[in-house]
Amino acid sequence: MKKIIITGFEPFEKETINPSQELLKHIDCDPNLFQVQPILLPVTVKEAGKVITKAIDDIRPDYVISFGLNGKLSHIALERVALNIVDARIPDNNGEQPHDMIINQEGPVAYWSTLPVRTIEQNLKEAGIPVKLSYSAGTYICNYVMYSALDFIEKRGFQTKSGFIHIPFLPEQCLENPLRSSMDLSLLKKMLKTVISSL
């Protein structure tokens, strides 16, 4: 039995939904093989890192898969790298907007994702889902959560594998902005099922 934490985020930046939050309601995997704990993270520098590291400490999962929205995407982005910086483009949900904030003064400049990203990429392609490896998770809360989880796992010497996946808007988020790209929930659900079965 593999223990997995799956995280999504609350809505942010004027949106009323976040596709990563919706995804948490549609986790579909074999309960004989996987024990999944969904966790919703706040879009705040103050709490997001604390919530995910406490969950890792409490649950001691085999895997952490975090999801977040990147509104510029029309595909699934498998993040390979987390950087040791927050340089916020917009204020977070607490109104805080840190610039040039080093996440851990003693930490490395970056961590690699420890998820099997090449296998996941291959399996998503075979499932007909547009996917690309990404070499920057940005410098906002998603990168912050990815770095915080990997740094905590490293410091504690846990065997947990962890990484981050960015996803596009849902179609209903494009009605007022039809030039936005989106991915339908049914495809996102298939993506999540494929990612879990790749572990």
Residues in touch with ligand PCA (CB under 6 A): 9, 12, 18, 20, 43, 68-70, 138, 140-142
Judged by beta carbon, residue 9 or residue 147, the one nearer ligand PCA is: 9
Judged by beta carbon, residue 160 or residue 173, the one nearer ligand PCA is: 173
In the complex, minimum distance from the CB of residue 21 to ligand PCA, in angstroms, rounded to a whole number:
8
Rounded CA Rg of the chain:
16
Q: Which listed residue (142, 154, 172, 176) is catalytic?
A: 142
In the complex, minimum distance from the CB of residue 41 to ligand PCA, in angstroms, rounded to a whole number:
8
Those residues whose C-beta lies under 8 Å from the C-beta of residue 45, and which sit 6 or more positions away, are 86, 88, 92, 94, 96, 98, 101, 141, 144
Count Cβ atoms below 10 Å from residue 46 Cβ, excluding itself.
11
Q: Which listed residue (13, 99, 126, 166) is catalytic?
A: 166
| Residue 31 β-bridge partners | none
Those residues whose C-beta lies under 8 Å from the C-beta of residue 106, and which sit 6 or more positions away, are none
Q: Count CA atoms closer than 13 A to 18's CA, side-chain side.
A: 21
In the complex, minimum distance from the CB of residue 139 to ligand PCA, in angstroms, rounded to a whole number:
8
Q: Is 106 a catalytic residue?
A: no
Q: Which listed residue (79, 96, 106, 121) is catalytic?
A: 79
CA distance 70 to 52: 20
Residue identified by tokens 């994702």 is 113
Judged by beta carbon, residue 72 or residue 156, the one nearer ligand PCA is: 72
Count Cβ atoms below 10 Å from residue 10 Cβ, excluding itself.
16
In the complex, minimum distance from the CB of residue 43 to ligand PCA, in angstroms, rounded to a whole number:
5
Q: Is 79 a catalytic residue?
A: yes
Judged by beta carbon, residue 12 or residue 63, the one nearer ligand PCA is: 12
Q: Is 15 a catalytic residue?
A: no
Known catalytic residues are: 79, 142, 166
